Amino acid sequence: MVKDKEHLKKKASFCIDFAKKLGATDASVTIMHSISETVNFRNKKLDESNRSDSLGISLVTYLDKKKSNITSSNLDEDNIKTLVERCIETTKNTPEDEFNSLPDKNLLARDFKNLDLYDSDHIENDKKIDYLKEAEESAFKNKEIINTETGFSETKSNFVLVNSDGFENGYKSSSFSASCVAVAKSNGSMERDYEFTNTCHKKDMMKASQIGSEAAKKALEKLNPRKIESEKINIIFDKRISKTILGNFARAISSASIARGTSFLKDKINKKIFSDKINIFDKPDIVKGLGSRYFDSEGVKNDPLKLVEQGILKHYLIDTYYGKKLNLQSNGRNGGSSNLFFESGDISFKDLLNLSSKNLYITETIGHGSNLVTGDYSVGANGFIVENGEFKYPVSEITIAGNFKDIFNNMTLADDLEFKYKTNSPTMLIEGMVVAGK
């Protein structure tokens, strides 16, 4: 069982009181506890079972405008005392920074609607094993599948955030996730792909047979890929990838990147940065949402935001420190975006494939080729050539490159948005990107 709120609050209050006693003018502490149980299967046999019990404390102390922090996994009272002493000592010796402070009191979260983020259901390992067996059996139905790896993980967490301005709250959350990786082999070509499900509540998980058969299907489709010529081509990003484009956008509008002047979207507030029809939302209050939260990591209320409206950038993601630096109020985005998504487009997936006679459909990218200072984007990729709306053959060992400014402005979205991740996007067409192959 995860430790209850009262237990965590008691420990947290001890830290705050002790820090104040040693002279801290302000302090903020987060204590979290999580228990996670995982079972992994491989080729229809048990591979690993893992139980993880983690307790963590993170304390920030302020001496007026001086600040320092410590983290620890050891909640022994003597240890905490030593650490708080060390933290205060370090704070004394750290230079002042005028923007250091706890969040404004009037911005702290007060009203909470129930987001249903905790499912007390517990699945015994034997039941997890049954699920994984079923997933693997369904993947192995095709003879070209030579290997499978599956895993099932259940996590229960609880945390409290307490600060010296009287904020004192926290909540439990749960996570159920299962995945299946399938390796397909034919004519000397070997490819792998996966499917997974990750939900807050057990009953919302995908069926085991479905993740097994989807993983197998995707791996099989990738077999015997070709390399294509270098050219300028329209690219369609599968939902797995289009969400990463949205994720890069979110990182580029974080108040930290903006205040530091290291974002290609600096000074773009109220300016048009996407195609006309693009709308982007960040909604922390979706019931059972994977990115849902009652407040941000500083305790600040986080209202839903329409970040981009008709292609125009309306908000940055702002925390207390960089907000003060930019002379803007925190909008509760310390810790980044919550449930971030593009509004669905007005064209079907099928029509999107048919928008031009030839497209490169990308299902996988590898590498970390996003430069948020310049907006340059260059990654390795796998996918399919789509001609006249039909998937023709798989391609691999290519790279795609462009700049986010152009990518944002040449974007068309399909109407197939679903909430599978924390950040979600419909299938996305980008006109005219450069692919490097042969």
Partner 1 sequence: MTNFFIKTDLSRKDAENIVSDTLNNCDDGELFLENSKSESIILDDEKIKSSSYSSDLGYGLRAVTGEVIAYSHSNEISKNSLKQSAKNINSTLKSKKGVYNQEIPKTNEKFYKDVNPIEKKTLDSKLELLKEINNYTRSKGTIVKQVTASLTGEHKSIEIIRCGGEVLTDIRPLVRFNVSVVLEKNGKKETGVFGIGGRQSYDEYLKNNNWKTVCDEAFRIASTNLDSKPAPAGEMQVVLGPGWPAILIHEAIGHGLEGDFNRKKTSAFHNLMGQKVASEGVTIIDDGTLHNRRGSLTIDDEGTPTEKTVLIENGILKNFMQDRLNARLMNTKSTGSGRRESYKHIVLPRMRNTMMLNGKYHQEEMIKSVTKGIFAVSFGGGQVDITSGKFVFNCTEAYEIINGKIGSPIKGATLIGDGPSILKEVSLVGNNMMLDPGIGTCGKAGQGVPVGVAQPSILINKMTVGGTQL
Q: Given the complex with partner 1, which of 144 and 343 has the nearer CB atom?
A: 144
Q: Residue 283 CB, nearest distance to partner 1 (Å)? A: 28
| Residue with tokens 């299946």, as numbered in its chain | 180
Parallel/antiparallel/unpaired status of strands 376-387 and 45-63: unpaired
The only residue of 16, 84, 160, 259 in contact with partner 1, by rule CB under 8 A: 259
Which is it for strands 358-366 and 231-237: parallel, antiparallel or unpaired?
Answer: parallel
Q: Are 159 and 169 in contact (CB under 8 A)?
A: no
3-state SS assignment for residue 400: strand
Contact with partner 1 (CB under 8 A) among 47, 346, 390, 418: 47
> 279 or 396, CB closer to partner 1?
396
* 369 touches partner 1 (CB under 8 A): yes
For residue 40, the minimal CB distance to partner 1 (Å) is 8
Residue 267 contacts partner 1 per CB under 8 A:
no
57 within 8 A of 30, measured Cβ to Cβ: yes
Query: Would you put residue 311 in left (φ > 0), alpha (ψ -120 to 50) or beta?
Result: left
The whole-angstrom distance between residue 26's C-alpha and the CA centroid of its chain comes to 31
Q: Does residue number 368 form part of the binding site for partner 1 (CB under 8 A)? A: yes
Interactions with partner 1, residue window 201-230 (CB under 8 A): 222, 225, 227, 230
Binder to partner 1 among 7, 20, 42, 226 (CB under 8 A)?
42
Nearest distance in Å: CB 129, partner 1 = 10
Give the DSSP H/E element, type plus range, for residue 156.
Answer: strand 145-163
Cα(101)–Cα(141) distance, integer angstroms: 59
Q: Cα separation of 80 and 254, whole Å?
A: 33
Nearer to partner 1, 11 or 283 (CB): 11
46 binds partner 1 (CB under 8 A): yes
Q: Write out the binding residues for partner 1, residues 378-437 only, by CB under 8 A.
A: 378-380, 382, 396-402, 434-437
Site for partner 1 in 126-185 (CB under 8 A): 146-147, 183
Q: Does 49 bind partner 1 (CB under 8 A)?
A: yes
Whole-number Å distance between alpha carbons of 233 and 356: 10
Name the one range near partner 1 by CB under 8 A: 10-18, 45-53, 301-309, 327-335. 45-53
343-373 in b/e form (b: 16+ CB < 10 A) is: bbbebeeeebbeebeebbbbbbbeeeebebe
CB of 145 to partner 1, least distance (A): 12
Neighbours of 311 (CB within 10 A): 18
**Cβ atoms within 10 A of the Cβ of 73, count?**
9
The count of chain residues that interact with partner 1, using the rule CB under 8 A, is 74
Residue 260 in the binding site for partner 1 (CB under 8 A): yes
Q: x-or-dash pattern for partner 1, window 317-336, by CB under 8 A? A: --------------------
15 touching partner 1, by CB under 8 A: no
